[in-house]
Amino acid sequence: MFEDQEIISTIEMVKNENLDVRAVTLGINLFDCISHDLTVFKKNIRKKIIGHAATLVETCDQVGEKYGIKVVNKRISISPIALVGACFSSEQMVEIAHELNDIAKAVNIDFIGGFSALVEKGIANGDQALIDAIPKALATTQRICASVNVATTKAGINMDAVLAMSRTIKKAAALTADEDGLACAKLCVFSNIPEDMPFMAGAYLGVGQADAVINVGVSGPGVIKRAIERNLSQQHLSLGRIAEIIKRTACKVTRVGELIGREVADILNIRFGVVDLSLAPTPTVGDSVGEIFQALGLTHIGVPGSTAALAMLNDAVKKGGAFASSHVGGLSGAFIPVSEDLNIAEAAQKGFLSIEKLEAMTCVCSVGLDMVAVPGNITEQVLAGIIADEMAIGMINAKTTATRIIPVPGKKAGDSVNFGGLLGKASIMDVPHLDLEDIFVEYGGHIPAPIHSLKN
The three-class DSSP label of residue 441 is helix
Report if residue 455 sits inside a domain: no
Tally of domains within the chain: 2
Question: What is residue 176's predicted lDDT score, i.e. its pLDDT?
Answer: 97
Last residue of a domain, one of 176, 191, 206: 191
- Measured over the CA atoms of residue 209, residue 215, residue 219 and residue 223, the dihedral's sign is negative
Q: Is residue 200 part of a domain?
A: no
The mean pLDDT values, 10 residues at a time, for the chain of 456 residues are: 60 67 94 97 97 96 89 95 97 98 96 97 97 98 97 97 98 96 96 93 92 90 89 92 93 88 94 88 78 94 95 92 86 86 91 94 88 96 97 95 96 92 88 91 95 86
423 and 371, same domain (yes or no): yes
Asked whether residue 428 is assigned to any structural domain, the reply reads yes
- Do both 106 and 231 map to the same domain? no
Position 329 scores a pLDDT of 85
- The verdict on residue 97 lying in a domain is yes
Question: Could you tell me if 247 and 153 lie in one domain?
Answer: no
Q: How far apart are CA 324 and CA 284, in angstroms?
A: 27
SS (H, E, C) 244-298: HHHHHHHHHHHHHHHHHHHHHHHHHCCEEEEEECCECCCCCCCCCHHHHHHHCCC
Do 187 and 222 lie in one domain? The reply is no
* Claim to verify: residue 304 and residue 183 sit in the same structural domain: no
Residues written for the chain? 456
Are 245 and 172 found together in one domain?
Answer: no
Q: Within a domain: residue 123?
A: yes
Residue 63 belongs to a domain: yes
Query: Same domain, yes or no, for 341 and 417?
Result: yes
Residue 443 located in a structural domain: yes
1 inside domain: no
Taking a C-beta distance cutoff of 8 angstroms, is the pair 277, 31 a contact?
no
- pLDDT for 17 equals 64
pTM, rounded to two decimals: 0.94
CATH code assigned at 94: 3.20.70.20
Domain containing 249 equals: 217-448
Q: What is the pLDDT of residue 411?
A: 95
Give the C-alpha separation, 54 to 369, whole Å.
Answer: 34
